[in-house]
Amino acid sequence: MLHKQTKESHWALPGGRAQMLENSKACVQRELREELDVEVEAEAERMLWVTENFFTYDQKNTMS
């Protein structure tokens, strides 16, 4: 599951952020609902990794 902005040359995973006090499970379920319009009921056994990205977009420093 990747996406690319029309004017950009790189591909990326769909992004999102946890809401204040939202746990990881609820965040993943909400983000998949927002990005793909699907409900997710599966249980995750354990977290595999976390990633944090810092980049420049449209001449602005951005954190995601």
Q: What would the mean pLDDT of 7-19 be, rounded to a whole number?
A: 78
14-36 average pLDDT score: 83
| pTM recorded for the entire structure | 0.55
**pLDDT tens-digit readout, 27-63:** 888 888 888 888 887 777 787 887 776 777 677 666 5
For tokens 């996406």, name the residue.
3
Report how far apart the first and last C-alpha atoms of the chain are (Å, whole number): 18
Nearest Cα residue to 14 out of 62, 53, 49: 53
Higher pLDDT, 17 or 37: 37
pLDDT of residue 63: 59
| Dihedral sign (CA 53, 56, 58, 63) | positive
